[in-house]
Structure 1
């Protein structure tokens, strides 16, 4: 986000690193009030770092949307366009792909809504309470990414 006097057409919200603070958030809010569009890379509320779970940009995005009375155009997960673009790049259909993720809403259930098989992995930012209160159920749940070959082998056997 540039100087407040600049004419800004779009505010892009990516990750929430250490430089992301009140001043930057308030500048973005000012640009939104003056008519700038809001584009977000994702809606993730938190992520896991070496220091544990920390807030991510989605937590701030919700506040900006509410305060500026606007809705962000989300270009990454959980946007259906994100999954469609990935499938197009891979040359695969949704029935040929699966999404493995540690975020049940933005990774797994969003992929399932796009027609992919959703696999929740109990690592990274996985929290049992988030799993229990989710808006849906994953197709599969594994304890580790290392368990994926067994899951894929079982799926291949079922197709035979």
Structure 2
């Protein structure tokens, strides 16, 4: 596979639960040696970009923050473009840090947008109803991701997608998706490397958001059999990856012909 740039998913590709994927660190070293540009792209919405970098460091990955592209960062950029300054944030963790650093105030009323990430146990009736009412008042609905589920340390867990769909249905609006599989998200990450879609590939464990989104945006899609990978889901999807590998550790042998 002849590529000059790679987009690499994080959760399920570099680690699963609290364990790093064996050999993934050697693959990153290989990319550095060969001069292949890369960015880490994630729909993770339970952590700020700083926290993502800190988690990776704890697992043995020395990843600078500026190599991490997340949907919250993309959402902040979109609100800034629109001149918006207040949002209702339905999420968990320290995600508010990314918005506050971008000059976006997190508020409960009179907001420009309702931002929905993977809120976990914060997806209460009270919070969902508050978001619903704000949407009826005219706030934009921005989904940080629309994944159906993700692989946690104790098994598959619901992600933000089902809850975004519920708000869309109830309020009669359509969410703007800032993370994968949004074409704009892939474009944002590629722009940082000065790369075009036709010369890049996406490595991920989700057949829909990673592979389907990448192929729709003009990138090649490499599916790894770690994380949330399920053979039956791939078969039912109708999406054909350009390459399927056991894990991130197997990537170098398929990039051999494209070494720089």
TM norm structure 2? 0.56
Matched, 1:62 2:165: yes
Matched, 1:156 2:258: yes
Partner of 1:147: 250
Partner of 2:240: 137
CA contact (8 A) 1:39 1:72 kept: yes
Report the more deviating stretch, 17-26 or 85-94: 17-26
**Aligned-partner SS, 2:114:** strand
In the TM superposition, residue 12 of structure 1 has moved relative to its aligned partner by 0.4
Runs of 4+ in 1 over 4 A off after TM superposition: none
- Counterpart-to-counterpart distance in 1, 2:140 and 2:241: 33
**Aligned-partner SS, 1:77:** coil
Q: Which runs of 5+ in 1 are unaligned?
A: none
Q: Which runs of 5+ in 2 are unaligned?
A: 1-87, 89-106
Q: CA RMSD in A?
A: 1.5
Higher relative contact order (CA 8 A, sep 6+): 2
TM norm structure 1? 0.90
Give the alignment partner of residue 188 of structure 2, picking from 63, 85, 91.
Answer: 85
- Counterpart-to-counterpart distance in 2, 1:130 and 1:22: 30
**Aligned-partner SS, 1:99:** strand
Q: Give the total of aligned pairs.
A: 154
CA offsets 1:112-160 (integer angstroms, 9 cap, x no match): 111111001111011112101113211111111111111112x438xxx
